[in-house]
Amino acid sequence: MRDPKSTLDVTRARESSAANTFRTVDNPPVFVRGDGPWLFEADGTRWLDLVCGSSTTTLGHNHPAHLAAIQDVTATGILHTGTRLPSPFRADLYELLGSILPGELSCFQLVNSGAEAVEAAIKAAQFATGRTRLLSFEGGYHGRTLGALSITHGERIRKPFSVFEEIVDFLPYPYPDDPTGAATSADDCLAALSQRLQDLEHTGDLPAAVVIEPIQGVGGVVVPPDEFVIGVRELTRTFDVLLICDEIWSGFGRTGRWFSFEHTAIVPDMVTMGKALSGGLPLSAVAGRADVLKAWPPGMHTSTFQGNPVACNMACATIATIRDQNLLGHIETVVATELERTLRPLVRLDRIHAVRVNGAQAAIELLDGNGEPDADAVMRLQRRGLEHHILIYAGGRYGNGVMLVPPINIDRNVLADGLDIIRELIEQEVSS
């Protein structure tokens, strides 16, 4: 295997600068082995992974069920047969997905990345309704391809590109902890959505869909009041607009349930999923009502690698492992409990604006001495984490959130030890 120095040199010289490799430090670690929550450098140095490859490897590294799933497929000698032929592994995945979703969401479109799932859901909604307009929410993240970027709120990442401004509206999303003081109540957010839908109905331009993260993930683990999500569902029904729940970040246990929409018991018309679904291999999916996902003719949305059998069987292994090992129970009794126990005390510190724990994820919002969101402090903490061989994520609407995204099956003591170090680093940062 290529040595670490040469890996860094070649990557630095040849990789597009849009990739994130050198964003945090000039010389990020080069890992050559992984096991559970641990990553290892060539010299054997061990690191704790509380990022999980942007929440993809949520069962940890080197999981036996994932390795067996890959071997099951490679043993057949067939790595892909394209989009025109069925595959037993794809059929297995459809059945397993069906077993964890409400009965209404019985049909699936497989694609390759989160953003592409969002694109496919948008296209399916536009095709099924004959409308083009889309509504989405402030603080939401849906990916970087042009369609997904068009409904992603972040101005900085949208602005340089020709996104579809004229067909997208952003509506307020309840964010009670908004550090700028711009918090909007669930009632006000619902009133704004209702008004927008009425106006659009009046002009004969109702949207094809409303796209929502029922719990915002990279936006900083923002959990809106239940009545907001329920109200959005009711309004979309009233105006006959499709509701798409983006579960790409939240799905498969991250929020403590299979999907975050389950916390409010609503049933959307479509669900996008990716990331944790396939344990690190590129696979994503749209689940939807049959009358929506069977409305379009063959070939209307294809993609060369869609339904790749290795990725599909990885996804089958993910679902079976979460189910058979009761990992949703483990998240509640171990992961969420430890995150809460270790991190909650931080809220008493002046520059800690909020600590939010939800399922197997946490966000700690930092402010600077003037009470402004402090994204620089979060970058410093990520670097301090690297010095202590712990990988820490960053997020939040203003980039001022330290985010912790551990494997959902992590051992209590391993998590507690890592969190103790992170809490100390945060305490040092805000008292400096």
Q: Strand, coil or helix: what is 192? A: helix
The distance of closest approach from Cβ of residue 199 to ligand PLP in the complex, given in angstroms and rounded to an integer, is: 27
Distance of alpha carbon 234 from the chain centroid? 25
The distance of closest approach from Cβ of residue 114 to ligand PLP in the complex, given in angstroms and rounded to an integer, is: 2
| Residue among 47, 249, 261, 398 that touches ligand PLP (CB under 6 A) | 249
Query: Near ligand PLP by CB under 6 A, which window of 107-115, 253-261, 375-383, 411-419?
Result: 107-115
Tokens at residue 283, please? 């696979």
| Residue among 61, 63, 133, 142 that touches ligand PLP (CB under 6 A) | 142
What is the C-alpha separation between 159 and 71, in angstroms, rounded? 44
For tokens 């401004």, what's the residue?
Answer: 165
Query: Near ligand PLP by CB under 6 A, which window of 3-11, 199-207, 242-250, 400-408?
Result: 242-250
58-73 as b/e: b if 16+ CB within 10 A:
bbbbebebbeebbebb
| Residue among 37, 60, 139, 143 that touches ligand PLP (CB under 6 A) | 143
Tokens at residue 82, please? 């394209």
Residue 113 is a binding residue for ligand PLP (CB under 6 A): yes
Nearest CA to 277 among 146, 96, 122? 96
Query: Near ligand PLP by CB under 6 A, which window of 38-46, 94-102, 140-148, 161-169?
Result: 140-148
Note whether 168 and 126 are within 8 A (CB). Answer: no
What is the C-alpha separation between 423 and 414, in angstroms, rounded? 14
- Could you give the string, one character per residue 185-224, with x where binding to ligand PLP holds by CB under 6 A and - elsewhere? ----------------------------x---xx------
Query: Near ligand PLP by CB under 6 A, which window of 92-100, 245-253, 262-270, 358-366?
Result: 245-253
| Residue among 51, 96, 97, 115 that touches ligand PLP (CB under 6 A) | 115
State which amino acid sits at residue 332: E
**Pairing, β 284-288 against β 270-273:** antiparallel
Q: Strand, coil or helix: what is 27? A: coil
Tokens at residue 167, please? 């067909």
| Residue among 141, 252, 261, 398 that touches ligand PLP (CB under 6 A) | 141
Query: Near ligand PLP by CB under 6 A, which window of 113-121, 126-134, 321-329, 340-348?
Result: 113-121
The distance of closest approach from Cβ of residue 350 to ligand PLP in the complex, given in angstroms and rounded to an integer, is: 31
Nearer to ligand PLP, 213 or 262 (CB): 213
Query: Near ligand PLP by CB under 6 A, which window of 32-40, 138-146, 176-184, 348-356?
Result: 138-146
Nearer to ligand PLP, 284 or 342 (CB): 284
Query: Near ligand PLP by CB under 6 A, which window of 29-37, 241-249, 338-346, 385-393?
Result: 241-249
Nearer to ligand PLP, 152 or 342 (CB): 152
- Could you give the string, one character per residue 264-283, with x where binding to ligand PLP holds by CB under 6 A and - elsewhere? ----------x---------
The distance of closest approach from Cβ of residue 417 to ligand PLP in the complex, given in angstroms and rounded to an integer, is: 27
Residue 290 makes CB contacts below 8 A (sequence gap 6+) with 106, 107
Cβ atoms within 10 Å, residue 165: 10
For ligand PLP (CB under 6 A), the number of binding residues is: 14
Nearest CA to 281 among 94, 48, 73? 73
Nearer to ligand PLP, 249 or 258 (CB): 249
| Residue among 168, 235, 244, 248 that touches ligand PLP (CB under 6 A) | 248
What is the C-alpha separation between 41 and 53, in angstroms, rounded? 16
CA distances from 377 to 23, 182, 367, 416 (A): 15, 22, 8, 23
E strand or H helix at 401: strand 401-404
Residue 174 is a binding residue for ligand PLP (CB under 6 A): no
Nearest CA to 219 among 181, 246, 194? 246
Angle of helix 309-324 relative to helix 88-100, nearest 10 degrees, comes to 30
Give contact residues for ligand PLP (rule: CB under 6 A): 113-115, 118, 141-143, 213, 217-218, 246, 248-249, 274
